[in-house]
Chains A and B, each alone.
Chain A
């Protein structure tokens, strides 16, 4: 099997409190992989460790067999792009300039027509060209998310990391943004790793799902094998009905499981 992105024994702790506990996984090229898990399970930390936004305490991350932990920050930015959860901008910036920032790993001080061309190309691809001169802060949540995805795309990295791209969006925009992500992954031949809260969105859009609990991977594989009533009961402590919708499991949470306190 070809491997695009691999984590080996990835460990991270905060004040000697382990957040990631020897995480291992391999992702094949061109796949859209989603990390799910309860709050505090280490989803976002894992994404940030992979992009070296936070420095892992141990282990290694390999892209095309090259060790990310030994690269310069600028090189990491050429291999990995990152779509943050939300980006509060203190000073107003228009969408074009926001997206242009993604060219930083490639751009010279003057900037070139080619860089601008890339930005227009991606804006057109995501259908947000009309917003190019609008203030980023005045966009709707879904539009902002698309602009941030556009910014990651102009970075031209082969692996894209996304942190909760659908948080704070209504269901129409959740589907909209997820469709955009699935489309660009396919069109650009990217490999994507995404942290996500919503199990049903994860199930609908992912090729593979990684389920985490307390910094460890407890299940991984295709959606049908990971999103099961048993896994949800043990990881989320929720009793859920899982139904199949065109081969994709759909979760309906029923009630909390309150185990007896020892």
Chain B
């Protein structure tokens, strides 16, 4: 419309804008300031919500512990002189519930965050931490341990250790394949899918020859369950997490630019292929750690970044923590629901996450007015 008028009236673009320029300037800049405020506000409110949720979930569980008892049990650890609770209550709250929540938060955060950075470097909204074959590798590790008795670590980390090593191995094969052929996003996604199928077939082959006992072992792992998060395991995850989070955050600007394509990234001084491999290696470390304890909850890594993007847009300085916190929020709430819905039976977290999360995500998808569903 404007163009048409412009064509017949000489140079209207200047005319139109000059009269409005002063007013528009403040309006746009105000809108931008408001957008920046919303972004920070959103990140802070999700953080607040997360803290609130921890406070609620710690009081819930199959064992009947009152709210005040639960908090007393927590505070007792810090101020033993002032708070007294029964030994059983203390043990349940401090040694079972609390590490489970902390582990769940780190796992959810890790999956959401890794999904976010992987979608960025692969320029693919369908990418998730599992695009890199981590699940297939982990499952294969479990299968070899269960059926062939081949394990790399012994003791309590028999299954978990195998899952971790094969998950990492699998993603390294994919990264290596892509690096040889040129680390474009297409090569990585294709290599990921191919290697995924390969390891899945191997697992199925092992399953075919497995006994009933071995089968049960294989199926139990992989439902997605936070029960594995004891203090020891949570500390292990925390250690990896503390390394990976700043590494990913440091690449926030490069990730913003990488979504615009490799040529653009290079022209702005970002080595696209190196950054892609770096992100892949760091996030597969973290995801392999999460997955080997918890099994797979693919949904969070896929969806948490989209939820965050809908609200705060594509700046990874905010998007990475927001995706992580949303991931954590979804995971621990699904876990709480699964644990208390038909107590004392605990529904595995992975099942609950999808049952609760998918309808919610479809609602968000439908609510969006625009064509692109993640806006």
Contact = CB atoms under 8 A, between A and B. Distances in A.
Contacts of B14: 127
Interface in B224-283: 250, 252-254, 256-257, 259-261, 263-264, 266-271
Where chain A touches its partner, the secondary structure class is mixed
Interface string A149-175: 000000100000000000000001100
Given A93-B313, A172-B7, A84 B263 contact: yes
| Consensus secondary structure, chain B interface | helix
B9 to A, nearest CB: 13
A80 interface: yes
Nearest to B25: A129
A91 B269 contact: no
Interface string A103-131: 01101010100001000100010010110
A74 interface: yes
B343 interface: no
Given A90-B124, A97-B256, A101-B260, A52 B31 contact: no
A88 B261 contact: yes
A133 B263 contact: no
B31 A92 contact: no
B71 interface: no
A77 B268 contact: yes
A59 to B, nearest CB: 19
B212 interface: no
A35 to B, nearest CB: 17
B261 A84 contact: yes
Contacts of A133: 28, 31-32, 35
A132 B32 contact: yes
A151 to B, nearest CB: 8
B31 A132 contact: yes
Contact of A92 (B119, B124, B375): B375
Given A48-B263, A73-B271, A130 B24 contact: yes
B207 interface: no
Given A52-B266, A84-B261, A84-B267, 19 more contacts: A48-B263, A53-B266, A53-B267, A73-B271, A74-B269, A80-B267, A82-B264, A92-B314, A92-B370, A92-B375, A101-B256, A101-B268, A102-B268, A104-B254, A116-B32, A130-B24, A132-B28, A135-B375, A155-B268
15 contacts: A48-B263, A78-B269, A82-B263, A84-B264, A84-B267, A92-B370, A97-B314, A104-B269, A105-B269, A129-B28, A130-B24, A133-B28, A133-B35, A135-B370, A172-B7
Interface of B: 3, 6-7, 13-14, 17, 21, 24-25, 28-29, 31-32, 35, 119-120, 123-125, 250, 252-254, 256-257, 259-261, 263-264, 266-271, 309, 313-315, 317, 370, 372, 374-375
